[in-house]
Amino acid sequence: MTTATPEQTEVGAPPAAPAADRLRRLTRWWPAAPLLVLLTAPWSSLPLPGLLDGPLGSPGSLQLIALCLLFGALATGYDLLLGRTGLLSFGHALYFATGTYATNTVMLQAGLPFLPSALLGLLGGVALAALLGSVSLRMSGIGFSMVTLAFAQAGSILVERDPGGFTGGEEGRAAPAEQLPAALVGIEHTANLYWIALAYLVLTLAVVHRVVHSRTGRVWEGIRENERRVEVLGLRPYGFKLVAFVLAGTLAALGGIVYLLLTGGATPQTTTSDFTLSLLVMVVLGGSGTRWGPLVGGVLYTWADHRLGDLAGSGAVAGLPAVLRVPLSQPLFLLGTLFVLVVYLLPGGVVRLPGRLRAARERSRRVTERSRRVTR
């Protein structure tokens, strides 16, 4: 019997790839399945009782799903700071609000159509992120967090004071329907707004995935683990952190523009530090520093925020004794309880649950094998 030489193997037909390799290549494309479902959701009449109030393709359901996708993308962008670079910013809401308010103000005051107004609003968010980031990143640790919080508080106060009548104060300002494209106005065009939110999510995921796996992303990982070691290697962490800050701010400003379309106006609730804290909760809930964790956390938090609000005001809760009715009628109490349970029971976030289950099964298997060997 003769054995084929390497040369003969190269000339002949290539050996079949192992089944594990083929399966691994196929599983890389699994996001295409949920993406296809999301793309076709507006044409679906599938009822989802308990999850949504109406059929999947109804305007109310599409509006809620669009908000979930929007905040999932926003949390993914925020995780560039928290999970990828180790920067705890309390001012991320400022750039989201800049995209919303700047776009709306340009349409109202200058009378420009939506697209040029949105471009100016996005540029405003980028410029503000670059300016404030260059100042904030002179500090590190808790000092950086406090500076970003101070900037966010200043922006929130500015919006509430309503200088020149531009922001509308505590009431906010509605977007001018005549300046918006006709295909984005009216309940009959909810599907178009939904697809815009889905496009924003896909764009954010693509940008984050691309940059995280680049040379810059590897430096971010080094900064998160040990910034001093990065300096010893001859790199300047300040410049790389500023890139992360500006990129996260840009994605937030773009999300603010999408939010303006979904809600039809700019409201001061998006300027508060509580808004940034909600993003922090989303990231921790899903799993900070993971590919899908912030997205999952953003979707779950936004869905629970809306659905638990309905539960708190339902007749079932109203009929309970006072000792149960009072706390259960507060949506924030329900959200807080849910968050504490997840953090306590699922350290590392929801997306790490499958890995923890696999590790538990592996430990159980090893214990079983060890006990079998002992009994023999």
Which string of DSSP letters, residue by residue, matches 303-327?
HHHHHHHHHHTSHHHHTS-HHHHHH
- Position 250 in a domain: yes
Structural domain including 151 reads: 58-274
pTM of the full structure = 0.86
Q: Name the DSSP class of 174.
A: E
Element (H, E) at 173: strand 173-174
> Do residues 255 and 44 lie in contact, with contact meaning Cβ atoms separated by under 8 Å?
no
Answer yes or no: is 315 within a domain: no
Asked if residues 346 and 286 have their Cβ atoms less than 8 Å apart, the reply is no
Within-domain flag for 103: yes
Please report the pLDDT score of residue 147 as a whole number: 95
Is residue 116 within a helix (H) or strand (E), and if so which, with residue range? Answer: helix 114-136
For 17, the token pair is 């790839």
| Separation of alpha carbons 113 and 120, rounded Å | 11
Tokens of 359: 């590790």
Position 336 in a domain: no
For residue 18, what are the CA distances in angstroms to 15, 22, 89? Answer: 9, 7, 46
Q: Give pLDDT, residue 9.
A: 46
Question: Into how many domains does the chain fold?
Answer: 1
DSSP-derived 3-state class of residue 84: coil
The DSSP H or E segment spanning 100 is helix 93-105
372 found inside a domain: no
Residue 293 in any domain: the answer is no
Q: In this structure, what are the phi and psi dihedrals at residue 325, rounded to the nearest 5 degrees?
A: -65, -40
pLDDT at 314 (0 to 100): 63
- From CA 89, how far away is CA 93, in angstroms rounded? 10
Do the domain assignments include residue 294? no
pLDDT of 79 reads 95
What percentage of the chain's residues is helix, strand, coil (to nearest 5)? 75, 0, 25
Q: Does the residue 226 lie in any domain?
A: yes
Q: What is the pLDDT along the chain (376 residues), one digit of tens a residue?
A: 445 554 444 455 455 456 666 666 666 777 888 888 899 999 988 888 878 888 988 999 999 999 999 999 999 999 999 999 999 999 999 999 999 999 999 999 998 999 999 999 999 999 999 999 999 999 988 999 999 999 999 999 999 888 888 888 888 889 998 989 989 988 889 999 999 999 999 999 999 999 999 999 999 999 999 899 999 888 999 999 999 999 999 999 999 999 999 999 898 888 887 888 889 989 999 999 898 999 999 999 999 888 777 766 666 666 677 666 666 667 677 777 777 887 788 788 888 888 777 877 888 888 788 877 777 6
Here the tokens at position 83 are 């999970």
| pLDDT computed for residue 13 by the predictor | 47
Nearest alpha-carbon partner for 169 in 277, 267, 263: 267
Query: First CA to last CA across the chain, in angstroms?
Result: 43
